[in-house]
């Protein structure tokens, strides 16, 4: 994970895979952290925090790019339920490591044999996600715009 200059919207981004895996989908980007407790509906995949910029959007199956989670460890429980129901994002891209997302993904891998990748990016690379509509996350932590 480099702190160097941000890349363009077509260059690959290289981060640190906190939870390894592959996924592809539309990038759902926000510069604001998200609390999953009271902010994400595990039944529908909708972002329900009405004060969040992504309110009303569906995270299910997307590559969710948020700088971090906000709030308590209950985020892990909500995310685990969404993974169990199949309404969780396909992958998470963050601005630096996020322990709650990583913990939920690791536990989901053990409990359900499926875990969304979690990749920590440098601040510059995270900001570059704003211009990317679709991406492929690779097990190595590389994020390829598509």
The verdict on whether 35 is a catalytic residue reads: no
The residue annotated as part of the active site, out of 10, 31, 72, 73, is 72
DSSP string, the chain: ---SPPPPTTS-EE-EEEE---EEEEEEE-SS-B-STTTB-TTT-BB--TTSTTTT-B-TTSEEE-S-B-S-THHHHHHHHHHHHT-S-SEEEEES--HHHHHHHHHHHHHHS----EEEE-HHHHHHGGG-SEEEE-TTSEEEE-
Active site residues: 72
């Amino acid at each position: 994970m480099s702190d160097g200059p941000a890349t363009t919207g077509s260059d690959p981004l290289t981060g640190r895979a906190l939870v390894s895996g592959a996924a592809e989908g539309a990038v759902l980007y926000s510069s604001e952290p998200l609390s999953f407790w009271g902010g994400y509906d595990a039944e529908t995949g909708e972002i329900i925090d009405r004060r969040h910029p992504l309110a009303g959007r569906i995270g299910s199956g997307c590559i969710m790019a948020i700088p971090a989670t906000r709030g308590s460890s209950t985020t892990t429980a909500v995310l685990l339920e969404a993974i169990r129901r199949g309404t969780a994002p396909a992958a998470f891209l963050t601005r630096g490591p996020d322990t709650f997302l990583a913990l939920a993904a690791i536990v989901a891998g053990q409990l359900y044999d499926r875990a969304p990748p979690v990749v920590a990016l440098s601040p510059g690379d995270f900001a570059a996600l704003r211009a990317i509509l679709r991406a492929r996350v690779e097990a190595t932590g590389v994020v390829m715009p598509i």
